[in-house]
Amino acid sequence: MKPEEVSMFPVGGKNEAFSKYFTGQSYLSMLTTKGVAIGNVTFEPGCRNNWHIHHAKSGGGQILLCTAGRGYYQEWGKEARELHPGDVVVIPAEVKHWHGAASDSWFAHLAVEVPGEDTANEWCEAVSDEEYSKLK
């Protein structure tokens, strides 16, 4: 499958700017950066981002609108949640988490950055291959 066959939204180019925070290949197309930033993030099979936290003094966080394929979302200390098109994940500020594709499926979601005060992302450690391989 080609990346452009995964989503109804533009896939964009290889996500080189953030590649050090991903295991595997992802693609990014910013759909808008005015008002509320929304990016279409596409993951090749097995691709996932590192654990990370969306910090904010108030407001902030992220909303994922799943559009294609099969993936996962996991909060620190909790079981991973399997994701499918139509699923919505609301990620409050200050919650350590990761998201990405299943090992056998492409995955795409719209990443909606929730406006807030003094927002910043903190990138943490990679999701280990051992931890990831436990997912079905």
pLDDT at 124 over 90: yes
CA nearest neighbour of 111 among 59, 33, 4: 33
49-67: average pLDDT: 98
**pLDDT, tens digit (0-9, with 9 covering 90-100), for 4-17:** 777 889 999 999 99
Judge whether 28 and 109 are in contact, CB under 8 Å: no
pLDDT exceeding 70 applies to what percent of the chain? 97
pLDDT exceeding 90 applies to what percent of the chain? 93
pLDDT at 1 over 80: no
> Mean pLDDT score of the chain, rounded to an integer?
96
DSSP 8-state symbol, 43:
E
Amino acid at 73: Y
pLDDT of residue 5: 74
The rounded distance, in Å, linking the Cα atoms of 95 and 57 is 13
Q: Which residues contact 126 (CB under 8 A, 6 or more apart)?
A: 23, 50, 51
**pLDDT, tens digit (0-9, with 9 covering 90-100), for 61-104:** 999 999 999 999 999 999 999 999 999 999 999 999 999 999 99
* Cβ neighbour number for residue 48 with a 10 Å cutoff: 25
Q: Does this model's pTM top 0.85?
A: yes
* Residue 42 bridge partners (DSSP): 27, 108
Tokens of 109: 């979601």
The rounded distance, in Å, linking the Cα atoms of 25 and 27 is 7
